[in-house]
Amino acid sequence: MNKQSFGSKLIFPLMLAVVPTVAMGNAVTYLNHSVASNYKLEMNEATFAQNNIAKGYGILNKVMNGQYDYLSNQETDATDVVAVMWALFDAGVAKGQGYEQGSFVVADSNWHLYHFLRGNQEAASRHSSHLGRATKLTNAGHYGIDILGSYQAGSADWAPYSSLNPAYVQQNILPARKGTILFIPMRAGQNVGLTTNQVFIKMEDHGVKTWYGYAHHAWDFITGTCLGLGVDPNEAARKERVDKNIASLFQKMVKALPNAQVTADTGNAKDLGVRVMVAEANRLSTAAQGNPGFAGAFAAFSAAVAAKNYDNIGMRTGDEVIFTQAELQHSIDRHHGGQVAVTDASDWESDLGDVMTAAPQLTAAQNAALPAAPAETKGYLGTLSSWFW
C-alpha cells in the first residue's frame, strides 16, 4: 500500500458558550473534499470506508459497554481495530473536528477501550515522545499496533497478516492514510489533573515493525518533532500539543506571583496542558486577589483560552479530539441504522465544572491491568528505538 491510494470560579465566562456546531458530514465526505490530495479517499475507496465506519460503531458499542468478545483470532483483532479507528474518526468529523494529523482522547473509566487495544495480538510496547510529562507522573506504558497485511485497491475488505496470509507489509488503510496506532492509558489523578481514566490514541503515517515504516517514522520524528521541518502550516491538525501562545501567557501570569503561591502543580501545568493550566489559573486567581499585575496577565490568558473555543476542558492537553463516554455513546447511537451523525447545540457544550473537581477514588476494576513501568520498544532495531522516541 502506498500514499497515493488504499492500494497503499468560572474562569472563562465566554467559554460557557457551545462549541461551533457546523456539521461536517461523515468521514467519507470529509476525506473526499476537506483534506490535501495525499490524504483524500479515491472513488473506489468509499465502500471500504463506509463498511468500516458502520462495523466500527457496532464494535465500539460492545467495547464501551463491556460486551466485546476478546476470544478472537489474529485476523479479527486486526479488522476490528481498523474499523474502530474509522468510527472514532467519523465521530470526530461529525462534531466538526476532522483532521489530517491528530489524536483522540477517550474517557475510559473502566478501561474497556484500553483492554480492547492492549489485547490486540499485534499490540506491542514502544517508545514515543507523546504526553511525556504526564506518562512519567503516571508511569504509563506506550503501545503501538501496526496495520500489517495485504489490500487490493478498490476492495471492500482487506486481509490482515497471519499464518494464512504472511504479507508483513504496512497498509495505510486507516483514516487519512495512516498505517499505525499509538495508544497510552492515562490514569485519573490529581497530579495530572484528570478526574477520570482516559486513553490517548494517535494514528500515525508509519509504524515501527517494518524496515520501511521504521525508517520513515524515525525520519518524520527527526525532521518534524525535533527540527520542525516539513510541517505544513495549512495542514488540518488536531494534536495534543499545547498552544505556544497560551503556554507563554500562563508563564507571564505565574511570574506576576510571589514564589510562595507557586506549587509543583504550577510548575507542571505547562507540560500537562490546558486542563492543568486552567485549574491552576482558577486557584491562583483567588490567592492573587489585589495583585494588578496578575489580574492583567490572568485576563490575557483567559481570553486566549476562550478564543480556542475548546470543549471538554477538564480532559484536555492541547488541540486533540476528545470524547466523554456520553458523547461517544451518543455518536454510536446516532449511527445505528447507517445514519450520518449531525451535531446540535446541546451535544458539545464546554464542560468547565470538572476542572477543579478532586479525582474520585477508583475501583479495583478501574485500576486493573495497567502497565507498571514505561514500555520498552519492540520492532526493528530493538532498543535503538529509544534514540528516537
The model's confidence at residue 373, banded by pLDDT at 50, 70 and 90, is: very low
From residue 361, give the alpha-carbon distance in Å to each of 139, 188, 191, 315, 358. 18, 9, 14, 17, 9
Put simply, whether the predicted model's pTM sits higher than 0.75 gets the answer yes
3-state secondary structure (DSSP) of residue 349: strand
Say if CB 194 and CB 362 are below 8 A apart: no
What is the tens place of the pLDDT at every residue in 49-69?
999 999 999 999 999 999 999
| Higher pLDDT pick, 249 / 228 | 249
> 340: buried, middle or exposed (CB in 10 Å: 19+, 13-18, 0-12)?
middle
Where do the domains of the chain lie? Answer: 13-239+323-359+378-387, 244-308
Pairwise CA distance, residues 295 & 292, whole Å? 5
- Answer for the pair 249, 292: CB distance below 8 angstroms, yes or no: no
Identify the pLDDT of residue 150.
97
pLDDT at site 229: 54
Report the percentage of the chain scoring pLDDT > 90. 61
Rounded average pLDDT over 151-155: 93
Residue 177 clears pLDDT 90, i.e. is over it: yes
Tell me the chain's radius of gyration from C-alpha atoms. Answer: 21
Collapse the DSSP code of 263 into the 3-class scheme (helix H, G, I; strand E, B; otherwise coil) and give the result.
coil
pLDDT digits (tens, 9 = 90+) for 96-115: 999 999 999 999 999 999 99
**DSSP code, position 162:** B
